[in-house]
Amino acid sequence: MADDGAVIGAVLDGDVDRYAELVTAYQAQARRLAFSLLGSEEDAKDASQEAFVSAYRSLRRFRRGAKFSTWLYRIVVNACRDVSRRRVRHAGWVTVGGSEAAMDGVGLFEDVEDPAAPPNEQAASREMAQRLSDAIGALPMKQRTAFVLHHLHGVPLKEIADVMRCRLGTVKSHVFRATEHLRERLSPCLEGHD
């Protein structure tokens, strides 16, 4: 595939069909990020589709030389905020990992169970993953965004600052607070596994 800048240039020059190359290249990442933030496969699908439509409409504002994935992540995060706000207005929302169907059937965390482990350890591992997913879903959106981008998607802190349009120190603070919140919420569960 051509580099993102070349594809964007072609789209802006009128070859709009080439936008499909960007969608193909980033669709899975965008949907995983949206699912990580929203905890619902249906909402993640909607948010990622909205993000690609919004990115297409705003493509002229993309700064040449910038990283397309960072710009797209910002749009995905904003689309997730919009979906989250609509959810609150319409109530009935469950937290990440709640009773919603998980993407590919695995929740926020891929199934890495040891097939040789006894069934009780496998069940305990699934339960801990569920609790962690629920705890992440309960974080305030800014903390959740920073934590998910950094710890679940491996995005560097500086890039997260660009995505969230804030200072690096603010991102570090969000990640720290999220980690502390998760530690407090999950420490009773972890004490039983020592």
DSSP state of 98: S
Region 3-9: what's the mean pLDDT? 92
Q: Which pLDDT value is given to residue 9?
A: 93
Mean pLDDT of the region 35-40: 90
DSSP one-letter string for 139-156: S-HHHHHHHIIIIIT---
pLDDT at 193: 52
pLDDT digits (tens, 9 = 90+) for 115-151: 676 777 767 777 877 888 888 988 999 999 999 999 9
Average pLDDT over every residue of 92-119: 50
Tokens of 122: 């496998």
- In this predicted structure, the answer to whether residue 28 has a pLDDT above a threshold of 80 is yes
Burial 9-28 (b: 16+ CB within 10 A, else e): ebbeeeeeebbebbeebbee
Is the pLDDT at 14 greater than 60? The verdict is: yes
Q: What integer pLDDT is reported at residue 187 of this predicted model?
A: 83
Instruction: List, for residues 159-181, the tens digit of each pLDDT value.
Output: 999 999 999 999 999 999 999 99
Q: pLDDT for 69-91, tens place per residue? A: 999 999 999 999 988 887 765 54
Between residues 93 and 69, the one the model is more confident about: 69
> In the prediction, which pLDDT does 107 show?
53
Nearest to 166 by CA among 183, 149, 184: 149
| Single pTM value for the model | 0.78
